Structure 1
């Protein structure tokens, strides 16, 4: 389970770095750009994507890769904003509970079988994350009004689910996950560089402090993926354990970090919705066994 713990820690550390960097004058766009530089290099070296499969790519595949390349950096930016305005705890829960929407999409688009346990887990998850979105009040004075932070959480929730659906779709087109990640990371980096060129915002990108923190961010982001894959390989006979444990660990570590490092506070109802989300993950674990 060491691989799983490292993957969960890396996931939470990505959020911590994004939240920590904003008040200190870092540009989220510049950091995310350097993040993709690290992610592309590490994906090429460690995951060894099959780039020959991209030589004769169909129009449907091109659109899917382009959509993923646009969506990934967009959601990353929304994640950064949600961390500032809605807080670490709620953002981590919203990000992890995107699995509920992914399951619904799998049922509707990929003909996945539905059981009463899956339906119960989806219902609990919906109640948990929607409750958190509606009750957007924390003790952090930087938190924005309810409507603003609620919409940011909703965007993160739906966006990460859309990324998962696109990866599933690309896999159905016979492309490996490593190839999908390499291609989409490359598109994301090119689009971010183009955006900064149009906006004439290259100055932060070229600063050593942005390069250093961005590369660290990308390394942690990649390690989250890498060790999650390793955990699946180690427990290949029971992927449901990885599925549940990873999500529960990230939520728990996110809650601890939010309370201890950023003094975030939730109302009693907010803690109840966090509990509902954790219960949903447990129910979905039994549904996937």
Structure 2
């Protein structure tokens, strides 16, 4: 279970770094660019992708890789904005509950079987995350600001589900996860560099403080993936435990970090929606056993 705890801790630390960096004047897009530099290097060394499978890739497969490579940095930037506007707790719950949309997509697109526990878990998950998106944090926020944070949460929720669906689709084409990650990281980095060149925003990208923090962010981001893969390998006979434990740990750690480090507050209804999301994860765990 050590790998699971480390994976969850790295996941939350990524969000903590992004949220903290905003208050210190860092530019998210520059940090995320260097994040992909670290992620590409670590993926190549530790995951050892076999790029020979890309020699005869067809146009349909390239479109899937391109879509994933373009979506990853967009959703990462959206995550950074959501952490700033909506807070750590709501953003992490929205990110984790993207699994509800992923399961729905698996049923509709990949003919995954359903049972009543899975259906109930999806219903509770939808209720939890939609409740958090629609609920307000406090009366001090304007209606416009509340709509903006709700829109960001919705984008995080849908965006991470889309990433998961694309990864599943690429796996059905016969490409390994290591290939999908390494190739999409490369496309993401290229896209971010082109965007900053067009916008003439090179200055933050080349600052040593952005380089250092961005590489650290990428290391944490990759370690989240690496330890999660290791946890699945160690508990290969029961992937449901990994699935449930990872999501619950991230939500719990995010709640603790949000309250202790950032003094975040939720209404009673907000805590109820967090609890509803945790119940959904547990139900989906039992549905997978």
Q: CA deviation at 1:79?
A: 0.1
- Unpaired runs of 5+ residues, structure 2, are none
State the partner residue of 2:88: 88
State the partner residue of 1:169: 169
Query: What are the equivalent positions in structure 2 for 1:23-42 lying under 5 Å apart?
Result: 23-42=23-42
* 1:87 and 1:143 in contact (8 A); partners too: no
Q: CA deviation at 1:136?
A: 2.9
* 1:50 and 1:179 in contact (8 A); partners too: yes
**Structure 2: distance between partners of 1:235 and 1:197:** 45
Q: CA deviation at 1:50?
A: 1.1
**Structure 2: distance between partners of 1:212 and 1:3:** 25
Cα distance change, pair 19–201 in 1 and its aligned pair in 2 (3 A): same
* 1:36 and 1:218 in contact (8 A); partners too: yes
CA offsets 1:233-253 (integer angstroms, 9 cap, x no match): 111100000000000000000
CA offsets 1:171-210 (integer angstroms, 9 cap, x no match): 0000000000000000000000000000000000000000
State the partner residue of 2:213: 213
* 1:140 and 1:265 in contact (8 A); partners too: no
State the partner residue of 1:282: 282
* 1:84 and 1:143 in contact (8 A); partners too: no
**Structure 1: distance between partners of 2:142 and 2:242:** 35
**Structure 2: distance between partners of 1:264 and 1:225:** 27
Q: CA deviation at 1:2?
A: 0.3
**Structure 1: distance between partners of 2:21 and 2:140:** 16
**Structure 2: distance between partners of 1:190 and 1:143:** 37
Number of positions where the alignment pairs a residue of Structure 1 with one of Structure 2:
289
- Unpaired runs of 5+ residues, structure 1, are none
State TM-score, norm by structure 2.
Answer: 0.98
Query: After the TM superposition, which segments of 4 or more aligned residues of structure 1 sit over 4 Å from their partners?
Result: 138-144
Cα distance change, pair 114–76 in 1 and its aligned pair in 2 (3 A): same
State the partner residue of 1:182: 182
State the partner residue of 1:51: 51
State the partner residue of 2:2: 2
Query: What are the equivalent positions in structure 2 for 1:15-26 lying under 5 Å apart?
Result: 15-26=15-26
State the partner residue of 2:124: 124
Cα distance change, pair 17–140 in 1 and its aligned pair in 2 (3 A): farther
CA root-mean-square deviation? 1.4
Query: What are the equivalent positions in structure 2 for 1:102-251 lying under 5 Å apart?
Result: 102-138=102-138, 145-251=145-251
* 1:85 and 1:142 in contact (8 A); partners too: no
**Structure 2: distance between partners of 1:40 and 1:144:** 38
Q: CA deviation at 1:141?
A: 7.3
Cα distance change, pair 279–157 in 1 and its aligned pair in 2 (3 A): same
* 1:39 and 1:221 in contact (8 A); partners too: yes
* 1:240 and 1:285 in contact (8 A); partners too: yes
State the partner residue of 1:255: 255
Cα distance change, pair 17–180 in 1 and its aligned pair in 2 (3 A): same
* 1:69 and 1:187 in contact (8 A); partners too: yes
Q: CA deviation at 1:140?
A: 8.8
**Structure 2: distance between partners of 1:81 and 1:167:** 24
